[in-house]
Amino acid sequence: MKANLNLGKYYGTEVQIHWTFFLLIAWIVFSEILSGSSTDRILFNLQFILAVMICVLLHELGHLLAAKRFGVKTKKMVLLPIGGISTVDNTTESPKVEFLITLAGPLVNIIIAIVLFFVIPVRDYISFNLGEYFTALNDFSVRTFLFFLFIVNVALAVFNMIPAFPLDGGRILRALLDVKFTRVKATFLATRISNVIAIVLLLIGLLFNPILVFLSLFLLIGSFSENRIVHQMGLLKGHQVREAMLKNITVFDPEDTMEAIVKVILTGSETNFVVVSDKKIVGLLYHKDIIQNSHKRTLLVRDFMTVDFKTIKAREGLSVAYRLLQDEPHPFLPVTENDELVGAINFANLHEFLLMEDKLKH
């Protein structure tokens, strides 16, 4: 999303701050101004949000470094107020590796909390009576700041260990179940437990706290998404691209005109095309570009085709095609064998393959 703030690349991973962090900052400032808070209090809260952001970043870097240690490549990492979302290039199906990578994040927060426990007199805060506690909370000192940070890191570790997707606890639960069951079955069981937790939070939220309602929806969506992806990857396992690719595709020459393309689109069902010259793939024609230029009937293919594109081999795994298509702005890939075009694959026919495989398995 363009509203996210890009922090650059770390260990080959693009790191972004999600826009909800800035929404949180705006909400805190607005609330404090409405309540007539002092400038010191507002600055204290802003600095604290920045510190929380750093703790979340360190949590995700824990995952990132552990993943790098086990050869799992992380493409992108987006930081949210309650954690982060990572996009990986190659996932792992090893329960042990998933367990260790997932545990690394909360472990960072636990280490930070332990350090802060010995740096500040946490016991003093815990032993306070109610009056002393509120007095301490209104003291904008470094000690109070660090105590709040201690609480946040404990909360981040505990919250992320809840056994529900997409939290770390859900993945840890799946890794433990994966020792006994297949990955698909382990994910199914873990998401069912996740859904129960989400529904309980939803009911509590409806009675007491609206924030829990949003949290439960976040867990339900994350659980559904994880189960669907793993189920689909399980169906694709062991299958090659050539089993699902489109074989009878229309190809164009760089010297063909828009007139010829429009005729093919209006009389058929194809929307994206491969451009071939001397038996070599030289470009792709995407539906969006064709529509934008469709009024220029004499325009040559070579003048608007896309020359920066990816291809996939016919004997490559369908799971690889699935991940590539997810990353492409236009989910359409030419399929090659011995460096020659033999077909194409897109999400539509991959989805058809998944539907048929699902019926076969049931």
Q: Express each pLDDT in 283-328 by its tens digit.
A: 999 999 999 999 999 999 999 999 999 999 999 999 889 988 887 8
State which of 219, 236, 253 marks the end of a domain. Answer: 236
Tokens 């240690």 -> residue: 69
Spatial distance between the Cα atoms of 155 and 163, rounded to a whole number of angstroms: 15
Residue 48 has pLDDT above 90, yes or no: no
Q: Is the pLDDT of residue 269 over 50?
A: yes
The one-letter amino acid code at 27 reads W
pLDDT-wise least confident of 89-103, 135-149, 201-215: 135-149
Is position 256 annotated in a ligand binding site?
no
Q: What is the pLDDT of residue 137?
A: 62
Q: In terms of domains, do 213 and 257 share one?
A: no
Closest CA to 265 of 276, 273, 254, 257: 273
Short-list 283, 251, 245, 276, CA closest to 264:
251
Among all chains, which residue has been given the structure tokens 């069951």?
181
Report the Cα–Cα distance between both ends of the chain, in Å, rounded: 37
Last residue of a domain, one of 236, 264, 283: 236
287 known member of a binding site: no
Domain coverage including residue 77:
5-236
Q: Which amino acid does the sequence have at 290?
A: I
Number of independent structural domains in the chain: 2
Q: What pLDDT, on the 0 to 100 scale, is given for residue 273?
A: 96
Taking each continuous run of H as one helix and of E as one strand, the counts in the chain are: 13, 10
Residue 9: which of 64, 72, 91 has the closest Cα? Answer: 64
What percent of the chain lies above the pLDDT cut of 90? 43
Dmax over CA atoms of the chain, in Å, equals: 83
Question: Are both 140 and 51 inside the same structural domain?
Answer: yes
Question: Average pLDDT for residues 236-240, to the nearest whole number?
Answer: 91
What band does 339 get if pLDDT is binned at 50, 70 and 90? Answer: confident
Of 236, 267, 286, the residue that ends a domain is 236
Q: What is the DSSP letter of 246?
A: B
Check whether residue 195 and residue 279 sit in a common domain: no
> pTM of the full predicted structure?
0.77
Q: Does residue 124 surpass a pLDDT of 90?
A: no
Q: Kindly calculate the radius of gyration of the chain based on its CA atoms and give it in whole angstroms.
A: 26
Q: Is the torsion defined by CA of 106, 151, 61, 22 positive or negative?
A: positive
Instruction: Say what the pLDDT of residue 90 is.
Output: 60
Residue 216 shares a structural domain with residue 310: no
Three-state DSSP at 353 gives helix
Q: CA angle 297-300-305, nearest 5°?
A: 115
Residue 2 banded pLDDT, cuts 50, 70, 90 = low
177 and 126 within one domain: yes
> What residues are labeled active site?
60
> Per-residue pLDDT tens for 60-70?
889 888 888 88
63 is in an annotated binding site: yes
Give CA separation, 53 vs 67, 170, 278, in Å.
Answer: 21, 23, 54
